Structure 1
Amino acid sequence: MSIDRDWYSGFRIFRLQILKNMAGKSPELTELQRTSGSWAKVVDEIVRLEKKIFPKHESLARSFDDELKKKNSGLLYLEIDGDIAGYVMYSSASSLCAVITKLAVKEKYRRQGHGEALMKAAIAKCRSKRINRISLHVDPLRSSAVDLYKKLGFQTDTLVRAYYSSDRDACRMFIDFDNE
């Protein structure tokens, strides 16, 4: 699938629509910077969210700070009235390919477009680095997540048996871009 040059503009319009739909709440999408004075506070809150949402063997809670120290990794988070609503973590092992490693949205903020906004922002960030492919893994039983990724143009590559645990598989999905 090819995404045209107006894609980022579309993301900005989408973000403005979210802002209009939030009635009194002011969501702010931010890239976590190590030099930020709020680094520790943000990471602590994200680690709490990570522990609550993901099973212990899938959680990065114990190694979250280390993951973010890796070269070419990044984290975008959405804050609403001082509350972190969700985050997306990504990394790029090469200049050609990136991986979405985590997407999480607090339960009270789900089904409001925040996961989509986070994913679009991560895709835009990767596109700005001229990444050709973004991939991710998702539990095929998480149909809302699978539907979101398909909506954004991701295609299913293969089923990876026992990816999460001996009885839980994952779909590997990807999106390709035509860089000019």
Structure 2
Amino acid sequence: MESSKWEMVELQRNSGNWREVVEEIVRIEKRVFPKHESLSKSFEDEIKKKHTGLLYTRIGDEVAAYLMFSSTSSLCASITKLAVKEKYRRQGHGEELLKAAIEKCKSRNISRVSLHVDPLRIEATNLYKKLGFQVDTLVERYYSSDRDAYRMYLDFD
């Protein structure tokens, strides 16, 4: 991915383009996630929470990908959403967002980052493993009655 073509941004509540960015992310959210997994109806409320952060990559005025994370305690954070627009997949956006979120967590002295992923999403699972995440356990019926999830984690030394 050429750095001259895109930039990574942390969404700030007081930024002038906040509403437009959130609306675009909600549109991506609706396309990427099944209705019962989508935060599209509560997205704005989620990102206004005190310990929630949102990073996104932008190409021109377009959001290419986003990652939402939250630190539920001073020791642990979770990646709650990671999505890449279809036309920008396999270009490194997800990996760069994940690396940036990991660095943010490290800088806040968080010792563990966790996430859930559908075992059938092999590319996503492989990305997480590439960055050091390990499978903790299989959580049955996490997404729905017929969809499980791996709970994965990354511990910092």
TM range (shorter): over 0.9
Q: Which letter maps to 2:111?
A: N
Structure 1 segment 3-18 matched on structure 2, within 5 A:
18=1
Among candidates 56, 60, 64, match of residue 81 of structure 1: 60
Structure 1 segment 1-180 matched on structure 2, within 5 A:
18-19=1-2, 26-178=5-157
Provide the secondary structure at the position in 2 that maps to 1:62: coil
Task: Quote how far apart the aligned CAs of 1:81 are.
Answer: 1.8
Instruction: State the TM-score, normalized to the length of structure 1.
Output: 0.86
Provide the secondary structure at the position in 1 that maps to 2:2: helix
Q: How many residues align?
A: 157
Alpha-carbon distance in 2 for matches of 1:93, 1:86 = 23
Provide the secondary structure at the position in 2 that maps to 1:95: coil
Bigger share in helix: 1
Q: Which letter maps to 1:27?
A: W
Task: Quote how far apart the aligned CAs of 1:71 are.
Answer: 1.2
Alpha-carbon distance in 1 for matches of 2:102, 2:2 = 20
Alpha-carbon distance in 2 for matches of 1:143, 1:26 = 28
Task: Quote how far apart the aligned CAs of 1:69 are.
Answer: 1.1
Instruction: Using CA pairs under 8 Å that are at least 6 residues apart, name the structure with larger relative contact order, 1 or 2.
Output: 1
Instruction: State the TM-score, normalized to the length of structure 2.
Output: 0.98
Provide the secondary structure at the position in 1 that maps to 2:27: helix
Provide the secondary structure at the position in 1 that maps to 2:78: strand
Provide the secondary structure at the position in 2 that maps to 1:123: helix
- Identity over aligned residues, as a percent? 68
Alpha-carbon distance in 1 for matches of 2:43, 2:134 = 28
Runs of 4+ in structure 1 over 4 Å off: none
Q: C-alpha deviations, 1:39-92, integer Å up to 9, x for none? A: 000000000000011000000000001001111100000001211000000000
Determine which structure has more spread, i.e. the larger CA radius of gyration: 1
Alpha-carbon distance in 2 for matches of 1:130, 1:35 = 26
Alpha-carbon distance in 2 for matches of 1:48, 1:41 = 11
Task: Quote how far apart the aligned CAs of 1:19 are.
Answer: 2.4
Alpha-carbon distance in 2 for matches of 1:59, 1:166 = 16
Bigger share in strand: 2
